[in-house]
Amino acid sequence: MTTDELKQQRHKERQQRLKAQVDSAVAGAVDEKGLLLVITGNGKGKSTSGFGTVARATGHGYTAAVVQFIKGSWDCGERNLLQQHGVQFAVMATGFTWDTQDKAADIAAAEQVWLQAEQFLADPSIDLVLLDELTYMLSYHYLPLARIEQALLQRPPAQHVVITGRACHRRLIELADTVSEVQNVKHAFDNGIKAQRGIDW
Ligand code: ATP
Ligand code: MG
């Protein structure tokens, strides 16, 4: 056997072992349930990931709803697209922004949009709910943890939920099935490049 043939044979054996491991892990994963996913961290890509999941589910014919826990009067590419495909949106139209000034108005807006979130989380006809930037409602103490926890725990058993935002509360991380932390390696903004339409919103 030549050196190349030997290398090829070893590669094949390694791949066979890997395939056996993956196959056995896949065969062992048999449970089906509504998942709670958390996408947190300081890097860019949390909301993009949440909306990507909504697009993925919608593409399979599932019903999805999105709650945006930030001032939603801005243009939003995902909303423009996904509403055309039947995705319901509840948007915090007034109040909370990154540079919040009026706490009472923010809390009122948070409570109002949370009522809509609770409706989505109680509706078994909705397969996936995205709670975009929910984490800030807890870090700013705009919504009580107990109320969020209750709605998540009592949701229809097959319903999936995605929560995004920085500095996710540890209780939500405990409750979640899948948690990803997006790390900031570099960001164009740090080099003075402004947010780009179609990339940043
Ligand atoms: P995206 O919506 O692009 O997936 P994100 O949800 O991970 O971003 P947010 O904290 O919600 O991040 O920030 C929203 C906006 O801030 C986006 O325009 C995004 O590009 C920008 N941004 C995200 N991460 C960073 C960062 N590390 N430095 C500067 N700007 C950022
Ligand atoms: Mg975001």
Interval 37-52 mean pLDDT: 98
Alpha carbon of 14 to ligand 2 centroid (Å): 40
Structure tokens, 11: 């590669």
Greatest Cα-to-Cα distance within the chain, rounded to the nearest angstrom: 78
Ligand 1, residues at Cβ distance < 6 Å: 42-48, 133, 164, 166, 182, 184, 187, 189, 195, 200-201
Residue 191: inside a domain: no
State how many domains the chain has.
1
Residue 63: inside a domain: yes
Residue 137: inside a domain: yes
Nearest to 142 by CA among 103, 87, 198: 103
* pTM of structure: 0.89
pLDDT per position as a tens digit, 149-175: 999 999 999 999 999 999 999 999 999
Residue 24 sits at the vertex; the CA angle it makes with 21 and 26, to the nearest 5 degrees, is 110
- Return the percentage of the chain with pLDDT > 90, whole number: 70
- Residue span of the structural domain in which 157 resides: 36-183
* Confidence label for 73 from pLDDT (cuts 50, 70 and 90): low
Could you tell me the CATH number of the domain that includes residue 104? 3.40.50.300
Residue 147: inside a domain: yes
* Confidence label for 28 from pLDDT (cuts 50, 70 and 90): confident
Interval 47-62 mean pLDDT: 98
The pLDDT assigned to 22 comes to 86
Weakest-pLDDT range from 39-43, 90-94, 111-115? 90-94
Is residue 96 predicted with pLDDT exceeding 80?
A: no
Residue 8: inside a domain: no
Alpha carbon of 33 to ligand 1 centroid (Å): 30
From the CA of 45, which ligand is nearest? 1
- Dist. CA 44–CA 58, nearest whole Å: 23
Q: Which residues have CB atoms below 5 A from the ion given as ligand 2?
A: 46-47
Handedness of CA 72, 130, 176, 142 (dihedral sign): positive
Residue 166: inside a domain: yes
CA distances from 160 to 20, 67, 100, 129 (A): 30, 14, 30, 6
Interval 118-124 mean pLDDT: 98
Q: Name the H helices within 63-200.
A: 77-83, 103-121, 135-139, 145-153, 170-175
Residues in the chain: 201
Residue 6: inside a domain: no
**Mean model confidence pLDDT for the chain:** 92
To test ligand 1's pocket by mutation, which of 37, 44, 74, 137 has the most ligand atoms within 8 angstroms of CB?
Answer: 44
The pLDDT assigned to 71 comes to 64
R_g of the chain, CA atoms, integer Å: 21
Residue 193: inside a domain: no
Weakest-pLDDT range from 6-15, 39-48, 91-100? 91-100
